[in-house]
Amino acid sequence: MTALEKAWYQGGIWLWLLAPLALLFYLVSALRRWCYRTGLKKSHKVGATVIVVGNITVGGSGKTPLVIRLCQWLKQQGYHPGVVSRGYGGKAPAYPYTVLPDSDAATVGDEPVLMRQHLGCPLVVDPDRVRGAAYLVEKHHCNVILCDDGLQHYRLARDLEILVMDGERRLGNGHLLPMGPLREGKWRLSTVDFVVVNGGIAAPGEHLMSLETGQLVNLKYPSKTQPLSALKKPAIALAGIGNPQRFFNLLRHRQVKLKETRVYADHYAFKAGDIPDDLVLMTEKDAVKCRAFASSQWWYLPVSAKLTEQFKQQLLERIHGL
- Residue 59: predicted pLDDT: 80
Q: Which residues are annotated as a binding site?
A: 57-64
Question: How many residues are listed for the chain in this entry?
Answer: 322
pLDDT in tens, 138-174: 999 999 999 999 899 999 999 999 999 999 899 999 9
Return the number of other C-beta atoms located less than 10 Å from residue 228's C-beta: 18
Q: Which residues are annotated as a binding site for ATP?
A: 57-64
What's the whole-number mean pLDDT along residues 248-252?
93
Q: Return the CA Rg of the chain.
A: 20
- The per-residue pLDDT of the chain, averaged, comes to 94
Q: Answer whether residue 1 shows pLDDT above 70.
A: no
Return the number of other C-beta atoms located less than 10 Å from residue 177's C-beta: 19
Return the number of other C-beta atoms located less than 10 Å from residue 71's C-beta: 23
pLDDT in tens, 107-129: 999 999 999 999 989 999 999 99
- Residue 242: predicted pLDDT: 83
As a whole-number percent, the residues of the chain with pLDDT over 70 amount to: 100
Q: How far apart are the first and last CA of the chain?
A: 42
**Distance from C-alpha of 105 to C-alpha of 93, rounded to nearest angstrom:** 13
Predicted TM-score (pTM) of this structure: 0.93
